[in-house]
Every structure is written in C-alpha cells, then in structure tokens.
Chain A
Amino acid sequence: MAGRRGNRDKVEDDLPVYLARPGTADQVPRQKHGGLFCSVEDAFESKTIDFDSLSVGQRGSRTPRTAKREAGQEAKSPASESFESPPGDSPRSRSRGGREDVLRNLGDETSDRLLIKGGRVVNDDQSFHADIYMEDGVIKQIGDNLIVPGGVKTIEANGKMVIPGGIDIHTHFQMPYRGTTTVDDFAQGSKAALAGGTTMIVDHVIPEPGNSLMEAYDQWRQWADEKSCCDYSFHVDITNWNDSIKQEVDSLIKEKGVNSFQVYMAYKDYYQMSNSELYEIFTFLAERGGIAQVHAENGEIIAEEQARMLQMGITGPEGHVLSRPEELEAEAVFRAITIASQTNCPLYVTRVMSKSAADIISQARKKGNVVFGEPITASLGTDGTHYWSKNWAKAASFVTSPPLSPDPTTPDYLNTLLSSGDLSVTGSAHCTFSVAQKAIGKDDFTQIPEGVNGVEERMTLIWDKAVTTGKMDENMFVAVTSTNAAKILNLYPRKGRIAVGSDADLVIWDTDSISTITAKTHNSAAEYNVFEGMELRGAPQVVICQGKIVLEDGNLHVISGVGRFIPCTPYPDFAYKRVKARKQLAVLRAVPRGMYDGPVSEFSMSRGGTPSASARTSPTKQPVRNLHQSGFSLTGNPAPCGPPTPDDIPIRPAGRRIVVPPGGRSNITSLS
C-alpha cells in the first residue's frame, strides 16, 4: 500500500479530472471475500475513485514517513499550512485568522466550504492522515496540501479521527401509539442523533394493519420533511399481506426509494405473519431486490406465556421479560433464516437482543446464509436485570421487544460478535415514551408501550464497550456504525465513507473524552435514560452534517427541516451479489424418466369424508364416494385418509384391488 502510494506523487492539478466523475462504478468484477470478515467485503473495491489511495500521503504513527519526504510535500503546497500540533494535543477545532472567525459567525451560508485539517481519516477499510475539503455538502478533495479557495473555514483536527457520520438504521421517531406519539419527534430525535455523532437515521414507517402502505409512507415523509435535522430514509413495515399491498411494495421499491421492509413474527393477531405469508413476502422481495427485515419473536408462544404470567399474578414489567424468554427470539430467528434461505432472500434481523439469537445468526452466516444481525444500543449497553427494579417507572422504561436479556454478560457477548463481523450493523431502535405513557400498562405489562432510547448514545457506547476494550478497531467501528448500514441500504459510497464525492457527513471523534450519561442532559425528551449513570469514553467532538457544522464545542446548532430524504435503490450489492449468483445455480430440474404405466391402486380422495388436502375447506364428512373427483390437488400432502372406524376400512393386505388404466397405458404429458 505504501509503495503504491509512494508512486503517486501527483500534483494537485490532476484533481479536476477525477472530480469530474465522482462515483463512477467501473466494470471490474468484484471478488468475493470470505465469510467471517464479510463486513469489510467490497471495502477495497473502486466504487468511487479513492483519492486517498492515489495521491494522499500517509502520515502518523502507522507508517511513519521520512522527514525529508514530509518536508518535500509541504514545500509543494504553499496553500496549506504545516501541522503545528502533534496528535494528542488538546482537541480544539479552530479557525485560522480573524476573517474566518467572522465568517463562521455569520451563519450557514458561509459554512458551505469547509476544510478539516490534520485529521486522521478513518474508513472501514483503512485509516490515513489527510485533509478533507468539502463544498456544497459534498466532499470535494481529500489529501495532503489541498488547493482550496481562500476564505474557507478550517477546522483543526489535531490528529483526531475523522469518521463518516453514523447511520442509525433503526429508529422510531414520532411514532403514533394509540392516539399519542413517542415523545421524540423527528426534530427532537434527529437532534439527539446529531448530538451523538449520527448524521443519518432510517426510520420505520408503520402502517396500521389494513391501511395503505403508501399513505403511511406519505404521512411519515411529511412529518420527517417538516422536522428532521439530518438526512433520513425509511423502512416500511408490512403489517398485512395481500395483493394490493404487493403492488404498493412494488411501487415503493420502484418509485419511492424504499428498499427494506420489515415483517413481524410477533404480535399475534395484530402484525404477526404466518409462515406462509413470510414465505410469500420473502419471495416477493427477493424478486424485487428488497431487503427483508424481521422482528423475530415467536408471537404465538408469547401470547400463551403472557396469559400464563398474568394468570400467575405477575403484572409488572418483569412479566414482560418472563413472557418473552430469549429462546423464543432464537427460535424465530432460526425460522426466519430458514425461510429466507428457502426463498433465497437476504435477511436482516432487527434488534438482536440475546446471546442465543446472535449465536443463531453467526451459525447461519458460517453456513453461508445471507443474513445480517442488528444489535441495538440497549442490548449492547445494558441488560434486563432492571426489569426487576423496585421502581416501576424505571423498570417500565426498559420495556422493549424483544426484551433485554436478564443475562448480564449479554452486552459483552454481543459486542464481541459485532467486532468479529458476525453481527453487521447497529441501530438504536430509539422509541421513547414518557413515564405517563408507559403507565398505560401499570396494571398489565402487556400494555406498556415498548421502546427504549439510544439514538444519541449509540456511537459512544460502542466505542466505549468495544473499541476501548480492545475488541474492535476503529475501522470496524466505522463499519458497524455507518458503512455496513450504507451498504445494506445501497447508499454506499454516498454515505458511510469519507471519499471524494461522498456526502459531507463527518464526525471528528474524540477518543478520550469521558461523559456520564444522564437524562438531565441528554437531548431526547424522555425522562428516563436506560443508560443512566454510565460513564462512557469517546464522543463526537465536531459533527458535520450536509457540510455544515452542527456540533462544535458542545454546542448543537441544528435546523429543523433541513434533512433530506435519501432514496434507497433495490438490489444492494452487499446483500444481493451472492443471492444473484445463487439464483442461477438453484434451478431445479425434473428427472426425465419414462412414465409409470403399471397398475394404480384404487383410491378415493373423499372416502370416509377426510380428503387429504382440504380438511379445512370441507370439515363435514362426505359419506358418498365421489368417483369423478380426480383427486388432484396442489396442496395435497400424501396424508393418509379414511377413518379408522371398524366398518369402513377392511384390512385387506392380501386382497387389494389393482386398477390398470384401460387402454394399457395412460398418457401422461408431464414427463418426457
């Protein structure tokens, strides 16, 4: 790498040539990388022209360069000043000279042009020292000694990490719930997101069963467009399944920029889909290039367990976790993977909350299934012991589905799997209710609105639990907080990467800051924070969203309504390349064989009133034998028939009757 880079001591005059065509996808076929580390799969491919790999000199502790060369480079670029501060210096973003100070204070219009100097650019594949110049909300140049126009605002990163802004792939802002909505609307929620270093959110559109997906989508669009402070996109939840929904899904994919749809295996009699429906939905999505997301819990058993808990007199929040043991989550994950594997559809498991569910996913990935697991902030940061808190309000604030696992080693375990790439992305499932709203279920845990906070704490928490503990490196951190999500949503490399042509959603990450999480200071409107009192290392120092500084020196400057809807296109490579290849292999063929023309035993489909395949449709017995009925049924299983009443069926192994088709040979056209 270093040698390759060394050859390219290009002058910056070449830049415009490459800038003229950012994001050109070339025709070079990408190679497949192995299973375990597939989170960095495709990371090395040239989706955009990586300026950094071409003309950027690498600096810093990793590959220290000779002083001579350093000096030579600096001499070449008189426009840029030399770095005056070593890494580890007091992290201050500063502007150079009084003029820029003035410009910065003028407001947004001037911050269209930004230069981040002296930062260490961290992508999911590599880290290198470079300056970043952005203009009009897009990254224009990356490299040393950039030629930039005068008067740009400059941020001194002082060797700090510059990472792509986080993508929170799972939020529920402004979610209606029984006539009320979650306390964090799109403004509040996206503000909290930005405060935590997340520059894009993907919210779930949840239509009521029976309602139109399209209407719900429009409604959500309207809410988000009005209020969102950062870019956003949508998943749409499929809450029931029929032909008109099918068409809506089709047009959502083709016209509305939605490529991921969530289905529910829980919430019996409400959102829950049967196995057959799941099969149909997955098949449909696989044909259209969509991602199937599942809420994986076995709703039927949960319903039984809930009834049992309430009957036992357990009505508090601990009933929630008792009635939803992690086995049921693991079972549903297993089933979802099976169905997805049958239909050859990429699967995305939302909210991996327990060890056993995570294990199932990592096992399936080892077997080659295309499945992505999403642990959420809460499952990575805390556990379910709080459900037994004596404080009802506190216990209730942890209620979410699937519940947090009471096993206190779960967060550690999930962080490990996240580090190893077995789990792919992190969301927050941010869905906050006030205590008063939670109290709807004060007499019955099944009525407690479900949801925890986490959009703000997500990145910091992962940094603290995984990177500072040595489980994960900074590149993987970028992958799980941002890049993988962008790849799954087919937004890569526009989002999730610091590259020329990408959106200017950047975070300067301060690895050393220590903050204590408390509901008093968080940006969410919720009264409780499930991470209350946790001390976390690592925090965003500067957050740049759409090329504008939104967080600096601890001050948040957000404008409601500037968030844009980012349409996602179908067939994301990250998920579909393998699926496409498998589709070509998975063609089933019949065996060409001579037709069977031997004797056929006499049989009756309706004898005794129980036809094999349609017991449901004809529950009543038909004592009359219908000889005209051919007994051909597509759904028919070779199920036994005929009641075992003594008179009805003689036992006649010896005297069975053989029917030979008249004419000697039946002409069956099915087989050649």
Chain B
Amino acid sequence: MSDCRRQWNREDELPVYLAGPITTGPNQRKSFGMFSSVEGAFESKTIDFDNYAVGRKGSRTPRSGSRERLLDAGDPVGKTPGETREGSQSNSPGERDEGRPGLEVRFSSGDENQNGESERLLIKGGRVVNDDQSVYADVYIEDGLIKQVGENLVVPGGVKVIEANGLMVIPGGIDVNTCLMKPYLGTQPLDDFLQGTKAALAGGTTMIIDHVTPEPGDSLLQAFEFWQEAADKKACCDYSLHVDIPQWNETVKDELELLVHDKGINSFQVYMAYKDVYQMSDSQLYEAFSFLKQLGAVVLVHAENGDLIAQEQRKILGMGITGPEGHPLSRPEELEAEAVFRAITLGNRVNCPVYITKVMSKSAADTVAQARRKGSVVFGEPITACLATDGSHYWSKNWAKAAAHVTSPPLSPDPTTPDHLHTLLACGDLQVVGSAHCTYSTSQKAIGKEDFTLIPEGTNGIEERMGFVWDKAVAMGKMDENQFVAVTSTNAAKIFNLYPRKGRIAVGSDADVVIWDPDSVKTITGKLQQSAAEFNIFEGMECRGGPALVLSQGRVVYEDGKLQVQQGTGRFIPRKHFPDLPYQRVKFRNQVKNKQGVTRGMYDGPVHDVVPTPKYITPSPSAKSSPTSHQPPPIRNLHQSNFSFSGKRAQMDDNIPRRSGHRIVAPPGGRSNITSLG
C-alpha cells in the first residue's frame, strides 16, 4: 500500500482523477459469505482518492518530516491547507494530552459570509472511516457533494475549514426503519418528519427511510404521495420511503409496478402478524415474494406469527392480564423465530432476498444467522431498542413506563439479548441497524390502558441509534470502527441501492458526513432529547460516543450540541430496483435453478378407475385443482405387450391381487396418447 502511495506523491496529477469521479469498474464483484457486510467494499465503485494520492498521517504510519516538506513545497496552491494541516498536526498532540481533541471551525479567509449557505467546506485533519478502511485525509465539499478526498487538496479560497483534529470522519448514518407518520386509530405519532429528522440529525443520522403505512383497501400510490408531500414539507435530511403492503390483490400489483418504475421505491414491507388486518397467508406471501422479485424489489418482512398471537392475546386477556406485560406474554420470541424461519423458507423457495425488519430476540437472530450460513439471501435488522434495553420493563409498576416499551415484536425479557445481538451485528450475521422510531405520547399509549392489545406500538431510538451501537459494540471491543460504519450506514445503502451516493465518503458521494467523537459521554434523558416524546426508553443510560458535527447535504446542521436545521430541505432520494447486494446472487441462482422434467416413455399400463364423487379421499395434494380425473371405461388391453420404458413390472398386472372389486381401466384403442412428456 505504501509503495503504491509513494508513486503518487505529486499533487499535480490530482485533477486528472478528479475529472472522472465515479467510474464504475467493469469487473464483477465477488460474493463473500460470512463477512458479507464488507461485501463489495473493495471494488472500485468510485476512485478512492485516499488509496492513491493520500499520504497517511498520524500514529499508524508516521511519515518522515522531510517528505512532508517536500510534498508541501511541490504545490503552491495547496499551500494554505498544507500550512493549516501542519499547524493542526502540531496542535493535536497537545490536545490529545488533555483528553480529547476538539473541533475547530473557522474560515480560511474572512471574506465569506458566516451565516450564509456555506457551500464549500473543508474538513481537515480527520480520519476518514469507511466500511472497508480508515485513512487520514482531508475532505473537500462543494455543492453538497464530496469533491476531493486526500491530503494537500487544492481548494479555492474562502472555504470554511473544519478542523477535525484526528477525530473520525464517517459517512452519515442511514436509519432504515422509521415510522414518523404511522397513524394509529386516528392519532399521529408525536415525532413527525420535522421532529423526527431533527432527532435523527442530532444523533448523527443524515438519512432516514420511512415506512409508508396505508390501510387495507387504500391505494398505495396515494399513500405514497401523501407521505412524500408531508416529508417534502418537513424533513430536514434526505429521506426515502418503504411502502408497506397491507393486503395482496391485483390492484396492488399494478401500483407496485408503478412505484418501482416511476417513483423510485425498491422496498416493500409485508406482514406476517396483525391477523385480519395486515397479515398475509403463506400463499399470498409466496405470490407477493414472486412478484416483488420480478420487480427487483427488496421484501421487508414483519415476522411474527399473527394467528398464534391472536390466540395468545385472547388467552391472556381471558386470564385477566390487561397491562403491558400481556404484550410480551402474548408475543413470545418463539413466534418471532417461527415467522422468521417461515419467511426465509419462502424466500428460498421463490429465490428472493428477504429482509427481516426488527429482529428483536436471540432466537430470531439465530435463525437469520443459521439461514445465512446455509446460503440464504437474508438480511436482519435489529433496532436501537433491542440493542440497548430489554423487555424486563414491561413488568414495571409504572404503567406509563411499561407502555412506553410496547413495540412489536416486543423487547425480549431476556436481559442478555442486547449483548447477543451486538455480537451478531459485529460478526456480520445481522447487517443493518434501524430504529423503528415511532413515538406516541403517554396519553396516546393510554388508549390501551385497559387492554394491552390496544396500546399503540412504537419506541424511540432514532437519535440514540448510532450512539448505542458505538457504546455497546465498538467501545466494548466487539466491533471495529469500519464495521460500525457498515452497520449504521454502508450496508443499508447497499441493500437499498443508495451506494455509493450514500454510505461512503468518496469523491462524488453526497456530503452527508459526521465527525464522530468516540469519547464524548452523555446521559440519555427525555428532557434533553430532540424527540417530542415525554418518555425515553433509554432514560438514564450513559452512552459513550456521539457526533461532534453533522453535515447534511454539505451544510453544517449540528455542531457543539446545537442544531441548525431548515424545515423542508430534505430531498426524496429515489432508489433503483435490483440492488446489487441482495440481487446479484439471486440472479445467478435463477440461471442455475432451472428445473427439468424427466423424459420418459408414457405410462400405458392399466389405470385404476376413479369414482367421480369420491366418498373417501385420502391425502391427494391438490384436491382443489382437479378433484376428479376421469378415466376411460374399463377394457383391458391384451394387445399391449411390451413397452420398454415403463418398466419390468408394468405389464404384470396379472399378478395384481385384486381384492374387493377393484376395477382396472386401460385406455380403449390400446394406447393413450399423452403429449406431456417426450
């Protein structure tokens, strides 16, 4: 690596590469098995400037002072950044001694308007962390795009310079699961697109993918447009939308096609729970999977066995348990694991990628991990709540607190669950972290004060998501910083076809960048959060690691704990169908999986007569499709002597011991002409 880098130590050559950002190499990506979270990470989707012209700085590969000087002397235009960098380098050791390096924002020259839209930004002295590698590099941002990554960049004068002082510069987080507008019995969640995206940005998440949740019978298209309109007005960060399919019928198919081809939606959620409302039968799921696979969309599955939940709910209400503890009691994790298993089986049959939303329990996560080991194309998404807390709170004496934890599938009462899920996340068995942020006030939750089945479901987590993954996985040594970037951002971008526009710091990518401070410690409390909810389920938890500065679309939106957002600046990001990460393997399997019948001589031996209206029928698989297959009248064909293919005993019908009046039928004319088999 360092040899390679030495060949490119002249900054004059930089513009050549800048001229052609995002040149996708023609070479195919390989599929990796267990470590698929970094699948494709090494391929040349964009030209990685850091790989070529960026000198590595800092403790990892310290460079000689003489060489540094040589580089700086080589280019007069880059003098200013070069100097500042040298300055920062001399500063930073001192700062590190004090504890943690701070951020410093300043303008290189004073002629630029401070509060105006600063379209040009330079992040200096940071360590750029992508999902595949970390390098020291400066990042230059213009017009909401990353224009240059590297050392000693040639930048115009008057840019705003942010001194990262060796802090991590990571791609902004992508929260793949939010419900900011999911209505419940006529009420709306507290956090709408404005409030929700504010909270997201405060937590280092620069893009959300929200769920459009139409009611059964509603038009998906209308619902989508309604959601989009609301989000366009209010969202402060880029967003995209999943569309939930509340029921399966013919009209839905047309709308899905339209959504995929014209609206830029490539992910749809189906439900295996919520009996009589959203729940689909296995047949419907099979059809839905088949159809969505043709469209090249990702199937999201809410995996819980709704039939059994309904039974359990009835039983538990019958026992007089009406409080929130009835919620986890009626939705034991086995039912989640069962549905996950079934969804994966369906996905295998249809050969369709399956994405399990809200993996809440150990057993469900294990099921996903096992299936991946067997080669299934399946992705699992744990959410903030299940990664940071557990379901023991359902038994809280405080009704409001217990109710605040109600979400589906429920948090597992097993307190070791978060740890287990983090482990699977770290090793790549689970891929993406969402938040399933859907907050209702206590008074809204109180709709179900006499019946836990009516408590609106949803927990907070959009703001805490990245922090908890850092705190519980990276700070604990389970996960490295690259995997942290993968699970919070890159994998989501790959699965939903946003990569490399999102989820990576590379030339040409969107300037959604977070400067991450691994040492900041804050205590989560409902009082200080951005979300409007009065109750935070992580109340009182200490969390190490947090964003020091957040850039969204090239603008600083969060700095020093202060949020500067503008309502409605969020753009809808359309997503193309057939994302590579889920679909490449599927495409190859499609080619392999062609099934062929056996070419055999037709059977022309005797055929038993079938009674048209059978009194007794035994297991016949498709009694529905053809309950009766009527055969010709009973004449035995004595001329038919020797048909080779149909086997040695086919003609030995004389030996059949016929008891109790069997009727043997042979086709008249000697031979039935069956055209089906060659």
**Chain A residues close to B by CB (< 8 Å):** 172, 175-181, 183, 185, 188, 206, 208, 264, 266-271, 274-276, 279-280, 295, 298, 300-307, 309, 312-316, 318-319, 322-325, 327-328, 330-331, 334-335, 338-339, 341-342, 388-396, 401, 434-437, 439-444, 446-447, 449-450, 519, 525, 527-528, 588-591, 593-596, 598-605, 607-610, 612-617, 619, 621, 631-646, 649, 651-653, 656, 658-659, 668, 670-671
Q: How many A-B residue pairs have CB under 8 A?
A: 452
Q: Which chain B residues border A616 with CB–CB below 8 Å?
A: 276
Q: Which chain A residues border B611 with CB–CB below 8 Å?
A: 178-180
Our pick among A269, A275, A519, A590 for the contact of B325 (Cβ within 8 Å) is A590
Is B444 interfacial (CB 8 A cutoff)?
yes
Our pick among A172, A269, A588, A631 for the contact of B319 (Cβ within 8 Å) is A588
Our pick among A388, A589, A615 for the contact of B216 (Cβ within 8 Å) is A615
Chain B, residues 175-199, CB within 8 Å of chain A (1/0): the string is 0000001111111111110010000
Check A599 against B606 for contact (C-beta < 8 Å): no
Check A645 against B222 for contact (C-beta < 8 Å): yes
Is B443 interfacial (CB 8 A cutoff)?
yes
State whether A315 and B677 are in contact (beta carbons under 8 Å apart), knowing that A178-B614, A613-B276, A656-B187 are contacts in the complex.
yes
**How far in angstroms is the closest Cβ of chain A from B313?**
7
Our pick among A176, A331, A396, A644 for the contact of B341 (Cβ within 8 Å) is A331
Q: Which chain B residues border A436 with CB–CB below 8 Å?
A: 605-608, 653, 656, 662, 664-665
Our pick among A208, A322, A341 for the contact of B615 (Cβ within 8 Å) is A208
Check B443 against A599 for contact (C-beta < 8 Å): yes
Q: Which chain A residues border B322 with CB–CB below 8 Å?
A: 590, 670-671
State whether A393 and B192 are in contact (beta carbons under 8 Å apart), knowing that A607-B185, A640-B182 are contacts in the complex.
no
Our pick among B608, B622, B676 for the contact of A180 (Cβ within 8 Å) is B608
Could you tell me which residues of chain B, from 89 to 113, have a CB within 8 Å of some CB in chain A?
A: none
Check A178 against B349 for contact (C-beta < 8 Å): no
Our pick among B281, B600, B622, B649 for the contact of A390 (Cβ within 8 Å) is B600
Which A residue sits closest to B629, measured CB to CB? A447
Check B313 against A651 for contact (C-beta < 8 Å): no
Check A301 against B345 for contact (C-beta < 8 Å): yes
Could you tell me which residues of chain B, from 588 to 612, have a CB within 8 Å of some CB in chain A?
A: 595-603, 605-611
Check B397 against A443 for contact (C-beta < 8 Å): no
Compute how far the CA of A280 lies from the CA of B308 in the bound complex, rounded to whole angstroms.
10
Check B286 against A301 for contact (C-beta < 8 Å): yes
Check A442 against B184 for contact (C-beta < 8 Å): no
Could you tell me which residues of chain B, from 445 to 500, have a CB within 8 Å of some CB in chain A?
A: 446-451, 453-457
Check B649 against A527 for contact (C-beta < 8 Å): yes
Compute how far the CA of A449 lies from the CA of B543 in the bound complex, rounded to whole angstroms.
64
Is B660 interfacial (CB 8 A cutoff)?
yes
A-B contacts, 5 of them at CB < 8 A, read A208-B615, A338-B308, A392-B602, A401-B619, A447-B626
Compute how far the CA of A313 lies from the CA of B215 in the bound complex, rounded to whole angstroms.
39
Is B647 interfacial (CB 8 A cutoff)?
yes
Check A525 against B657 for contact (C-beta < 8 Å): yes
Which B residue sits closest to A172, measured CB to CB? B618
Q: Which of B282, B335, B621 has the most CB of A within 10 A?
A: B621
Q: Which chain A residues border B248 with CB–CB below 8 Å?
A: none
Chain B, residues 649-660, CB within 8 Å of chain A (1/0): the string is 110110111011
Q: Which chain B residues border A330 with CB–CB below 8 Å?
A: 345
| 4 A-B pairs closest in CB distance | A179-B611, A176-B616, A391-B647, A275-B307
Q: Interface size class for chain B?
A: 35 or more
Q: Which chain A residues border B338 with CB–CB below 8 Å?
A: 334-335, 338
Check A593 against B631 for contact (C-beta < 8 Å): no
Our pick among B190, B342, B398, B657 for the contact of A653 (Cβ within 8 Å) is B190
The interface stretch among B399-407, B429-437, B510-518 is B399-407
Check B314 against A635 for contact (C-beta < 8 Å): yes
Compute how far the CA of A590 lies from the CA of B313 in the bound complex, rounded to whole angstroms.
13
Q: Which of A303, A435, A444 has the most CB of B within 10 A?
A: A435
Is B639 interfacial (CB 8 A cutoff)?
no
Is B283 interfacial (CB 8 A cutoff)?
yes
Check A591 against B610 for contact (C-beta < 8 Å): no
**How far in angstroms is the closest Cβ of chain B from A47?**
34
Which A residue sits closest to B227, measured CB to CB? A644
State whether A638 and B345 are in contact (beta carbons under 8 Å apart), knowing that A316-B677, A443-B674 are contacts in the complex.
no
Q: Which chain B residues border A652 with CB–CB below 8 Å?
A: 188
Check B608 against A437 for contact (C-beta < 8 Å): yes
Q: Which chain A residues border B603 with CB–CB below 8 Å?
A: 392-393, 396, 439, 442
Check A593 against B397 for contact (C-beta < 8 Å): yes
Compute how far the CA of A312 lies from the CA of B676 in the bound complex, rounded to whole angstroms.
11
Which A residue sits closest to B326, measured CB to CB? A590
Q: Which chain A residues border B346 with CB–CB below 8 Å?
A: 301
Compute how far the CA of A36 lies from the CA of B646 in the bound complex, rounded to whole angstroms.
46
Is B408 interfacial (CB 8 A cutoff)?
yes
**How far in angstroms is the closest Cβ of chain A from B174?**
23
Compute how far the CA of A271 lies from the CA of B624 in the bound complex, rounded to whole angstroms.
11
Check A318 against B597 for contact (C-beta < 8 Å): yes
Check B400 against A598 for contact (C-beta < 8 Å): yes
Q: Which chain A residues border B349 with CB–CB below 8 Å?
A: 301, 305, 325, 327-328
State whether A442 and B607 are in contact (beta carbons under 8 Å apart), knowing that A653-B192, A670-B320 are contacts in the complex.
yes
Compute how far the CA of A316 lies from the CA of B417 in the bound complex, rounded to whole angstroms.
49
Could you tell me which residues of chain B, from 53 to 69, have a CB within 8 Å of some CB in chain A?
A: none
Compute how far the CA of A306 lies from the CA of B623 in the bound complex, rounded to whole angstroms.
12
Q: Which of B229, B446, B597, B619 has the most CB of A within 10 A?
A: B619
Check A442 against B674 for contact (C-beta < 8 Å): yes
Is B323 interfacial (CB 8 A cutoff)?
yes
Our pick among A335, A528, A670 for the contact of B342 (Cβ within 8 Å) is A335
Check B274 against A637 for contact (C-beta < 8 Å): yes
Q: Which chain B residues border A322 with CB–CB below 8 Å?
A: 595
Compute how far the CA of A548 lies from the CA of B397 in the bound complex, rounded to whole angstroms.
70
Check B215 against A651 for contact (C-beta < 8 Å): no
Q: Which chain A residues border B403 with CB–CB below 8 Å?
A: 596
Is B70 interfacial (CB 8 A cutoff)?
no
Compute how far the CA of A593 lies from the CA of B662 in the bound complex, rounded to whole angstroms.
71
Check B454 against A636 for contact (C-beta < 8 Å): yes
**How far in angstroms is the closest Cβ of chain A from B15?**
48
Check B348 against A446 for contact (C-beta < 8 Å): no
Q: Which chain A residues border B596 with CB–CB below 8 Å?
A: 314
Q: Which chain A residues border B600 with CB–CB below 8 Å?
A: 316, 389-392, 395
Check A644 against B608 for contact (C-beta < 8 Å): no
Q: Which chain A residues border B648 with CB–CB below 8 Å?
A: 391
Q: Which chain A residues border B345 with CB–CB below 8 Å?
A: 298, 301, 327-328, 330-331
Compute how far the CA of A608 lies from the CA of B273 in the bound complex, rounded to whole angstroms.
22
Compute how far the CA of A614 lies from the CA of B217 in the bound complex, rounded to whole angstroms.
13
Q: Which chain A residues border B316 with CB–CB below 8 Å?
A: 588
Check B650 against A279 for contact (C-beta < 8 Å): no
Check B273 against A596 for contact (C-beta < 8 Å): no
Check A338 against B653 for contact (C-beta < 8 Å): no
Check B397 against A267 for contact (C-beta < 8 Å): no
Check B397 against A591 for contact (C-beta < 8 Å): yes
Check B408 against A651 for contact (C-beta < 8 Å): no
Q: Which chain B residues border A599 with CB–CB below 8 Å?
A: 442-443, 446
Check A298 against B282 for contact (C-beta < 8 Å): yes
State whether A525 and B659 are in contact (beta carbons under 8 Å apart), knowing that A179-B615, A600-B443 are contacts in the complex.
yes
Which A residue sits closest to B621, measured CB to CB? A446
**How far in angstroms is the closest Cβ of chain B from A361?**
14
State whether A391 and B653 are in contact (beta carbons under 8 Å apart), knowing that A175-B618, A640-B182 are contacts in the complex.
no
Q: Which chain A residues border B308 with CB–CB below 8 Å?
A: 275-276, 279, 338-339, 342
Check A208 against B617 for contact (C-beta < 8 Å): yes
**How far in angstroms is the closest Cβ of chain A from B400?**
7
Check B307 against A434 for contact (C-beta < 8 Å): no
Is B230 interfacial (CB 8 A cutoff)?
yes
Which A residue sits closest to B234, measured CB to CB? A651
Check B649 against A635 for contact (C-beta < 8 Å): no
Q: Which chain B residues border A315 with CB–CB below 8 Å?
A: 597, 676-677
Check A178 against B185 for contact (C-beta < 8 Å): no
State whether A309 and B185 are in contact (beta carbons under 8 Å apart), knowing that A600-B447, A631-B454 are contacts in the complex.
no
Our pick among A307, A331, A645, A653 for the contact of B625 (Cβ within 8 Å) is A307
Could you tell me which residues of chain B, from 211 to 230, have a CB within 8 Å of some CB in chain A?
A: 212-218, 222-223, 226-227, 229-230
